[in-house]
Amino acid sequence: MKSTLLKYVSNSFLLVVPALIVNLFWASRLPPEWQFDVFWRDIPPALTYGERISSLVVNVLPVFMPLRISTIRQRRGLVVYVVGMLAYFAAWVMMVYFPQSAWSMSLIGSTATAWTPIIWLIGIGLIGDSFYFSLPYKPLYYILPSGIFVAFHFSHALLVYMRFN
């Protein structure tokens, strides 16, 4: 019983948790135009639903993926994940602590928290090697919805950026 429970607790969702923690603690410290109410104002419904549904898939699917680092692909995936998470964290640091910097005011910098997730999400896709249900695993099964999510999320951030620049 204990080993079965541990098996399901030790899943790839643990790799999503750092991003959720960063979002939770720093979202309220973003500049005014990136605050939740402003960020979601006047976003077309197709973009809103696409972003939210794809976000749900990308955040829930890892719950059904065991977390193991035993193959070369998984070790490479871990490197991609760490690099991506560092880039994502740096993007947040710049927006929260240096919001008036040239980087944070630029298109690339101000939307970095929306596009850098593709790096660590690809890492998760490469780390995965199976599901807890009977579907043979292929990295594309996670990387494709991740790309769709990031495309929606970046498009949303781009609309917000254009609104204020």
Q: What percent of the chain has pLDDT over 70?
A: 95
> Token digits for 51?
């972003």
Element (H, E) at 11: none
Angstrom distance (rounded) from CA 61 to CA 100: 37
Stretches where the chain sits below pLDDT 50 are none
Q: Specify whether the CB–CB gap between 51 and 156 falls below 8 A.
A: yes
Measured distance between the N- and C-terminal CA atoms of the chain, rounded to whole angstroms: 57
pLDDT in tens, 54-71: 999 999 999 999 999 999
Tell me, what's the pLDDT at 99? 97
Model confidence, pTM: 0.94
> Token digits for 25?
């603690």
Task: Give the three-state DSSP class for 66.
Answer: strand
Tell me, what's the pLDDT at 4? 66
pLDDT in tens, 124-148: 999 999 999 999 999 999 999 999 9
The total of structural domains in the chain comes to 1
Place of tokens 């973009």: 47
Range of the domain at 116: 2-35+43-164
Tell me, what's the pLDDT at 10? 86
Backbone angles phi, psi at 123, to 5 degrees: -55, -45
